Amino acid sequence: MEAQTFSSGFRSNSTIPSTKIPLERVSITPAPRRLSLRLQHSISSQRVLSTGRLVCKNSSERVKPNVVIGEEDDSKAVVKRKKLAVFVSGGGSNFRSIHEACVRGSVNGDVVVLVTNKEGCGGAKYARDKGIPVILFPRIREEPDGLSPKDLVTFLGRFGVDFILLAGYLKLIPVELIRAYPRSILNIHPSLLPAFGGKGYYGMKVHKAVIASGARYSGPTIHFVDEHYDTGRILAQRVVPVLASDTAEDLAARVLKEEHQLYIEVTAALCEERISWREDGVPLIRSKDNPKDYY
């Protein structure tokens, strides 16, 4: 199933030549199974005005009902199914894990768009295979077709994105996006923040630093994203042992296994609106089984 890559050049499988298309001319009219982008764009004066219709199929899974959350007084609250954007730079195993959880119904949401700075990465390939649109961000010298922060915010808004999940995305999220999605952007980091976080701490570099430090425990952290690397409010963590014989690869594999489970658990809570904020600003997850319990 062919999906589309969105960039300032807006390459598509339509016969319209790839060119810059002013965003104000792109309207996304979501339909039950298909996103249809009606493009009306005027290109440079010496070229004709053309309109075209590009049909962009989203993933093929059937439309699932909103989830019903029981309330203490037995009234039932219907929680709208959420639209998710996932940001990756590499293999995308967390992205795949979250997408599979959405498809099987474990998460009350759908991944409606993938954002990457590496158009050829494994996560982008998976997205295309599943019919999930791919957005290239940011615009850099090596990727001149990448979107600007302002255009990215506009695009995500037109996809109706509710929450943004960073999953191995290696670029700084700009303040424009953070302001557009307050308390709505999560990141997963492969250490127990605040330890071993910040600029320069990503991928295997994190696990190498943990082992070199002699730390006896490590594990994934999921946190809300603010303007700086890894300093946002911590929402969830899991702990794994660091063994004396561990290589960085051994530790990475142990942590990654917990990441997959933790990100699904947290994304499910996010999409069921079970995240609360304590008066001191600490975010908490309301237990699904015992609504009076938070953790």
Ligand X SMILES: NCC(=O)N[C@@H]1O[C@H](COP(=O)([O-])[O-])[C@@H](O)[C@H]1O
Ligand Y SMILES: Nc1nc2c(c(=O)[nH]1)N[C@@H](CN(C=O)c1ccc(C(=O)N[C@@H](CCC(=O)O)C(=O)O)cc1)CN2
Cα–Cα distance for residue pair 26/147, rounded to 1 Å: 14
Q: Which of residues 198-257 bind ligand X (CB under 6 A)?
A: 201-203, 206, 256
Q: Which stretch binds ligand Y (CB under 6 A): 78-86, 119-127, 211-219, 227-235?
A: 227-235
232 binds, among ligand Y, ligand X, none (CB under 5 to 8 A by kind): ligand Y
Pattern of binders to ligand Y over 106-125, x per CB under 6 A?
--------------------
The single residue among 187, 219, 235, 255 that binds ligand Y, judged by CB under 6 A, is 187
Please, are residues 199 and 236 in contact by the beta-carbon 8 Å criterion? no
Residue number, 90 or 131, with CB nearest to ligand X: 90
In whole angstroms, how close is the CB of 189 to ligand Y at the nearest point? 4
Cα–Cα distance for residue pair 90/229, rounded to 1 Å: 18
Pattern of binders to ligand Y over 131-170, x per CB under 6 A?
-----------------------------------x--xx
200 binds, among ligand Y, ligand X, none (CB under 5 to 8 A by kind): ligand Y
Residue number, 139 or 254, with CB nearest to ligand X: 254
**Active site annotation includes 189:** yes
The footprint of ligand X (CB under 6 A) covers: 88, 90-94, 167-168, 188-190, 201-203, 206, 256, 259
Interface ranges with ligand Y (CB under 6 A): 166, 169-170, 172-173, 187, 189, 199-202, 225, 227-230, 232
The residues carrying an active-site annotation are 189
